[in-house]
A and B are shown apart, each in its own frame.
Chain A
C-alpha cells in the first residue's frame, strides 16, 4: 500500500498528531480521520469552496491540499471557527439574515467570510461579492449571504472599536 507520513499541526487550537497516507487530501483527513465533518466535499477539484478551511491564516480549498502539507501548520475549520467570537458573530448573522438554505455550502462560506472579516474590514458590497466568488451556492442566489457578511463586518468593527 501507499507510503504514510507522520504529521503534527495545531487544529482549532489543539496540538494534533496523525499518520496519513502520502496521497491523502486535507479534506479526507479532516472528514475521515478526525471526524470533523463540517468541512464538505462537493467537487474535489477546488471549484466550489465547500471544503474551505484556514491554514496559517489563509483560506484554502482543503481538497487540493495534501494532508502531509499540514505538518507544522495552524489549521482552523468550521468547528473551531464557531467556537470563536468572530465565528459567533458570523453564525448569528448568517442565521438572522437568511444566508442558510440547504446549508451545504455554508461552512465553506463561513470560513471565507471569517477571512474577509479578519483581513478586509469595512468592505463594500462589491468587495464582498468578489471575496466569495470561489464559493458556489445553489440555493440562495448569494444575496442573503452577502447581507450576512456585510452585517457581520459592521458588528465585528463595532466590537473591536468598543
Chain B
C-alpha cells in the first residue's frame, strides 16, 4: 500500500496507487444502477420468448393478455411493421415475424403496471408453432441439404409502400467469411523440418455481468427519445436507434447510469432495447425492462465458440516457417460482433511471433444455437490457445525449451509485420524473460516433466503463453477518436467531460489523474462527467482496450490547452516570460525554483471578472495515428500494441481430474503504469476471468437449448479457488501513449487457458485440445477416453 500522494508538495500522481473516485459511493450502496432507477409513471416490461428451437410461427393470440387488468400494451411484430433489423449483419428483427430460429427469440412483449402483472400476461399469450428441422453445429449447417437459417431475403416495407431488401438470403448458412494470407505456405512447409497439425475446440462461455441487462425508454411530448442504457457505445447506438426508429439521431439522448459489468457484452444492440422503445412509444409512458438472471444466461451474447484446425512448422533451429489456420465459428441464429472476432484472431496468428508464411481462413456459420457477441479478448483467447499449444509442441519436437523457442521467434521493437502492424514499443522479450525468471520456469518445467511416471497421483506442471493485443485503440470505425471538454471554474474546480464511458474499469480516475498531472491540481478538484450523449463529446465506445490510450490522450490535449491559457494569463499578469511559469500544487509557480506566484483559482477569477471576461474552457478531439486495414486485412490498425507472457503453475489430481491453478506469474508490457491500484485490479480480474474460461465455466448448449442458465450450474470462479498472482510491469514508455501508457483491459484474460493447457501437459504428458478443463473432461483425457475435436468440414 502506498502512502497518499501529497499534491500540495507537487508530487506526481502517475504510477501511484490511486483509489477509484467512485469507490466510496459504490461501497456505500448509494450508486444508482439502472435497476435502481424508477421514473414517475413508469411501466414494467417483459418479453415472451419462443422456447422452441426452430419453427414457423403459425399464430399468436394476445387477446387474453391484453384483457388482464394492469396491462397497458401487448405487442408482437404485427404491431411494429416499421421495425428494422439490428445487429452487425442486419439479419435480426427485434420482434420475430413468421419464424423463430432460437429458443431465446422474442415473440411478444408486455408493458404493465408491475413486472408481476407483465409476467402473468406473458403466460396468457398463446402461440402455435410449426416445427422446422434443427441445425445445432456449424459442421452440420454446412452439409449439403442442411436446413437454411436465413435462406430467404429479409425485406422491409416502408409506410409509403416502398420495399427494401435488408438482408440478402444466405444459401449456404455462411454468415461471414474472412481470408488472410501472407507469403507462401507451401514454400514454408517445404522449408520445415517439423510440422504439426491439430484440431481445437473452444467452447461457449458468457459474460455473467453481476448487474443483469436492463433499459428504460421514454419519449417526451415532442417525440424525442430518452434512453437510460447500459451500453458501452452510446454514440454508435444513437445512430443505430435512429435508423431503427426512422428518426433523426439528434432526437435521441442516451443516459448511462453506472453499469454492473460490461466485458464487451454491451457493444451491440439487442432486441430487448428496441422492444422497450416500441412499448414506450406505444404507451407514451416510461418503460423499464430488466432481465432475470435466467434470461441473462439465455438471451445475452456468448463468447464465440470456435472449431480450429492449425498446421504449423519450424526449422531444426527453432525458426517458425509457416502457419495454416482454418476455423469454423458457430454464429448462432443471428450475427453480432462474435462473427467479426477473426479481425483479432488473425493478428495473433500472423504477428504474435514472426511467421513468414501464413494463411487464415474462417467462416461464421448460422445455426440454431445462441448467438455470439463481443467478449473481453475478442477472439484472442481462442487464437492464443491454439497458437501457444503449437509453440510448445514445436519446441518439444526440435528439443528446445519453451522459453528459448519463443524468444527465437518473438517480435522486437521496430518490427513491421507482414500484416502491416508496426511495433513501435514492444517489450515482448522482456515479458518472456521476466515471467520465466520469476516463475522459475525452466527448472520447474524439467523437474515436473521428469515426474510423469512416478507413483504420486498429484502432478504439478508449469506452462507459458504469450499474447499480442491492440493497445492504442483499433481503427475499425471511420473514427477511433474521443472528445474532451474541460472547464475550470472560479475556484479551480475542474469538470472533465469525456466521451469515454466508465464501466467499472476505472477510466474516470485515470483520466482525472492525467488532467491533474498537467494542471497541478489535486484529484479532489475534479468532477468527471461521462454519461449523457447530450453533454459529452463523441467517443467510439469502450472496447478494444482503448479508453486509457485514446480518451487519455484526448483529456491531456484539453488539459494542455487549458494550461496554456492559464499560463498566458499569468505571464501577462506577472509580467514574466511564460517559459518561466508552471502549474503545481494548485498554484502558478516558477519552474525550477517552484516559488509560488498565485493560486490558479485566483488567477481564473481575475481573468473572469476583468474587462476581457474570459472563462477557462477547452475542447480537444484525439484521433490515434493508426490506419484502417485494407481489403486484405493489412494495415497498422492500432497506434500501439500490448504484450504479455503468463506462466501458469497447476496441480493435477490424476485420480479425479481436478486441476488446481496454483499460481499465475504474469509480465505485462503496459507502456507505463498510470494507476498501480487500478492496473493491478484489471490484471487480477482478467486472470481470474481467464481461469474461469479455462477450468470452470461452460455454457452447455444441447440441441440449441441452454441447459445451465443459472449460477448454480454455470460455475464462476469463487474466492477460495483463485491462484496466487505475481505481476510484473514492463514499462516500455510508448511514444504515442498518454504518459507512455498502452491499453491493458483485455490482455490479462487472453493467455490463461493456453498457459494452463501447456501446464497440464507438463504435469501429465497429456495434451488437451478442447476447453474447458473440468474434472470430467480432464479425467477422460488422462484415461485416454477423451474424443479429441475432429475437423469434418465440407470445404
Interface residues of A (CB under 8 A from B): 31, 36-45, 47-48, 50, 77-79, 82, 90-91, 94-107, 110, 126, 128-130, 132-146, 151
Our pick among B20, B263, B293, B720 for the contact of A129 (Cβ within 8 Å) is B720
- CB-defined interface of B106-119 with A at 8 Å, one 1/0 digit per residue? 00000000000000
**Chain A residue at minimum C-beta to C-beta distance from B207:** A138
Interface residues of B in 557-597 (CB under 8 A from A): none
- Residues of the A chain whose Cβ atoms lie less than 8 Å from the Cβ of B26: 100, 103, 106
- Residues of the B chain whose Cβ atoms lie less than 8 Å from the Cβ of A144: 677, 680-681, 684
CB–CB A96/B1 < 8 A: yes
- CB-defined interface of B250-282 with A at 8 Å, one 1/0 digit per residue? 000000001111110000000000000000000
27 cross-chain CB contacts under 8 A: A31-B36, A37-B32, A37-B35, A38-B28, A38-B30, A42-B210, A42-B211, A44-B292, A44-B293, A45-B293, A47-B711, A48-B210, A48-B711, A77-B29, A91-B24, A96-B1, A96-B19, A98-B681, A99-B27, A100-B27, A102-B209, A106-B29, A133-B720, A139-B261, A139-B504, A141-B687, A151-B1
Complex alpha-carbon distance, A106 and B716, angstroms:
17
Interface size class of B (residues with CB under 8 A): 35 or more
Please judge, given known A-B contacts A140-B685, A143-B725, whether A104 and B29 are in contact too, CB under 8 Å.
no
**Chain A residue at minimum C-beta to C-beta distance from B19:** A95
CB–CB A98/B719 < 8 A: no
Our pick among A37, A47, A102, A145 for the contact of B260 (Cβ within 8 Å) is A102
CB–CB A101/B210 < 8 A: no
Please judge, given known A-B contacts A82-B27, A91-B28, A146-B719, whether A98 and B710 are in contact too, CB under 8 Å.
no
CB–CB B503/A78 < 8 A: no
Nearest chain B CB to A136's CB is how many angstroms away?
Answer: 5
Nearest chain B CB to A64's CB is how many angstroms away?
Answer: 12
CB–CB A138/B712 < 8 A: no
Please judge, given known A-B contacts A44-B292, A102-B210, whether A38 and B29 are in contact too, CB under 8 Å.
yes
- Residues of the B chain whose Cβ atoms lie less than 8 Å from the Cβ of A132: 719
Nearest chain B CB to A53's CB is how many angstroms away?
Answer: 11
Complex alpha-carbon distance, A141 and B27, angstroms:
17
CB–CB A102/B688 < 8 A: no
Nearest chain B CB to A66's CB is how many angstroms away?
Answer: 16
CB–CB A138/B208 < 8 A: yes
Our pick among A37, A94, A143 for the contact of B27 (Cβ within 8 Å) is A94
Residue B400 at the A interface, CB < 8 A?
no
Residue B127 at the A interface, CB < 8 A?
no
Candidate in B32, B687, B688 with the most chain A CB atoms within 10 angstroms: B688
Interface residues of B in 401-454 (CB under 8 A from A): none
Nearest chain B CB to A91's CB is how many angstroms away?
Answer: 5
Besides A50-B210, A138-B685, 20 more A-B contacts (Cβ < 8 Å) are A38-B30, A42-B211, A44-B293, A45-B293, A45-B710, A90-B27, A95-B19, A98-B20, A100-B23, A103-B27, A104-B210, A104-B261, A132-B719, A133-B719, A136-B711, A137-B210, A138-B210, A138-B263, A142-B722, A143-B681
- Residues of the B chain whose Cβ atoms lie less than 8 Å from the Cβ of A98: 17, 19-20, 23, 677-678, 680-681
Nearest chain A CB to B302's CB is how many angstroms away?
Answer: 15
Residue B45 at the A interface, CB < 8 A?
no
Residue B212 at the A interface, CB < 8 A?
yes
Interface residues of B in 687-732 (CB under 8 A from A): 687-689, 710-712, 716, 718-720, 722, 725
Residue B471 at the A interface, CB < 8 A?
no
- Residues of the B chain whose Cβ atoms lie less than 8 Å from the Cβ of A39: 29
- Residues of the B chain whose Cβ atoms lie less than 8 Å from the Cβ of A101: 20, 504-506, 681, 685
Nearest chain A CB to B201's CB is how many angstroms away?
Answer: 24
Residue B791 at the A interface, CB < 8 A?
no
Please judge, given known A-B contacts A102-B504, A141-B725, A143-B684, whether A107 and B29 are in contact too, CB under 8 Å.
yes
CB–CB B210/A82 < 8 A: no
Please judge, given known A-B contacts A78-B29, A144-B684, whether A103 and B719 are in contact too, CB under 8 Å.
no
CB–CB B28/A133 < 8 A: no
Our pick among A31, A41, A141, A151 for the contact of B684 (Cβ within 8 Å) is A141
Interface residues of B (CB under 8 A from A): 1, 17, 19-20, 22-24, 26-33, 35-36, 207-212, 258-263, 292-293, 503-506, 677-678, 680-681, 684-689, 710-712, 716, 718-720, 722, 725
Nearest chain B CB to A67's CB is how many angstroms away?
Answer: 14
Nearest chain B CB to A157's CB is how many angstroms away?
Answer: 17
- Residues of the A chain whose Cβ atoms lie less than 8 Å from the Cβ of B260: 40, 42, 102-104
CB–CB A141/B20 < 8 A: no
Nearest chain A CB to B374's CB is how many angstroms away?
Answer: 16
CB–CB A141/B292 < 8 A: no
Our pick among B35, B506, B711 for the contact of A43 (Cβ within 8 Å) is B711
Please judge, given known A-B contacts A45-B712, A47-B710, A103-B27, whether A95 and B725 are in contact too, CB under 8 Å.
no
CB–CB A104/B211 < 8 A: yes
**Chain A residue at minimum C-beta to C-beta distance from B677:** A98
Nearest chain B CB to A12's CB is how many angstroms away?
Answer: 11
Nearest chain B CB to A101's CB is how many angstroms away?
Answer: 4
- Top 6 A-B residue pairs of the complex, sorted by shortest distance between their CB atoms: A38-B29, A103-B26, A102-B504, A141-B688, A104-B260, A78-B29
Nearest chain B CB to A31's CB is how many angstroms away?
Answer: 8
- Residues of the B chain whose Cβ atoms lie less than 8 Å from the Cβ of A41: 35, 212
- Residues of the B chain whose Cβ atoms lie less than 8 Å from the Cβ of A105: 210
- Residues of the A chain whose Cβ atoms lie less than 8 Å from the Cβ of B678: 98
Complex alpha-carbon distance, A99 and B688, angstroms:
14
Nearest chain B CB to A102's CB is how many angstroms away?
Answer: 3
- Residues of the A chain whose Cβ atoms lie less than 8 Å from the Cβ of B28: 38, 78-79, 82, 91, 107
Please judge, given known A-B contacts A98-B19, A101-B504, A132-B719, whether A138 and B29 are in contact too, CB under 8 Å.
no
Complex alpha-carbon distance, A30 and B387, angstroms:
51
**Chain A residue at minimum C-beta to C-beta distance from B724:** A143
- Residues of the B chain whose Cβ atoms lie less than 8 Å from the Cβ of A50: 210
**Chain A residue at minimum C-beta to C-beta distance from B210:** A104
Our pick among A40, A95, A103 for the contact of B504 (Cβ within 8 Å) is A103
**Chain A residue at minimum C-beta to C-beta distance from B297:** A43
- Residues of the B chain whose Cβ atoms lie less than 8 Å from the Cβ of A126: 720
Complex alpha-carbon distance, A105 and B719, angstroms:
13
Complex alpha-carbon distance, A104 and B29, angstroms:
9
**Chain B residue at minimum C-beta to C-beta distance from A107:** B29
CB–CB A130/B684 < 8 A: no
CB–CB A102/B711 < 8 A: no
Complex alpha-carbon distance, A103 and B209, angstroms:
11
Complex alpha-carbon distance, A146 and B720, angstroms:
10
Complex alpha-carbon distance, A129 and B722, angstroms:
9
Nearest chain B CB to A107's CB is how many angstroms away?
Answer: 4
Our pick among B29, B209, B710, B722 for the contact of A141 (Cβ within 8 Å) is B722
Nearest chain A CB to B463's CB is how many angstroms away?
Answer: 19
CB–CB B33/A104 < 8 A: yes
- Residues of the A chain whose Cβ atoms lie less than 8 Å from the Cβ of B687: 141
- Residues of the B chain whose Cβ atoms lie less than 8 Å from the Cβ of A134: 718
Complex alpha-carbon distance, A130 and B716, angstroms:
15
Complex alpha-carbon distance, A141 and B661, angstroms:
13
Nearest chain A CB to B1's CB is how many angstroms away?
Answer: 7
CB–CB A102/B261 < 8 A: yes
- Residues of the B chain whose Cβ atoms lie less than 8 Å from the Cβ of A137: 210, 719
Our pick among B22, B293, B503, B506 for the contact of A42 (Cβ within 8 Å) is B293
Candidate in B292, B685, B688 with the most chain A CB atoms within 10 angstroms: B685
- Residues of the A chain whose Cβ atoms lie less than 8 Å from the Cβ of B681: 98, 101, 139-141, 143-144
Complex alpha-carbon distance, A39 and B677, angstroms:
26
**Chain A residue at minimum C-beta to C-beta distance from B690:** A141
Complex alpha-carbon distance, A41 and B292, angstroms:
9
Complex alpha-carbon distance, A94 and B678, angstroms:
13
**Chain A residue at minimum C-beta to C-beta distance from B681:** A98
Complex alpha-carbon distance, A106 and B25, angstroms:
10
CB–CB A42/B212 < 8 A: yes
Complex alpha-carbon distance, A48 and B712, angstroms:
9
- Residues of the A chain whose Cβ atoms lie less than 8 Å from the Cβ of B710: 43, 45, 47
Nearest chain A CB to B681's CB is how many angstroms away?
Answer: 5
**Chain B residue at minimum C-beta to C-beta distance from A103:** B26
Complex alpha-carbon distance, A14 and B103, angstroms:
47
CB–CB B719/A135 < 8 A: yes
Complex alpha-carbon distance, A110 and B29, angstroms:
10
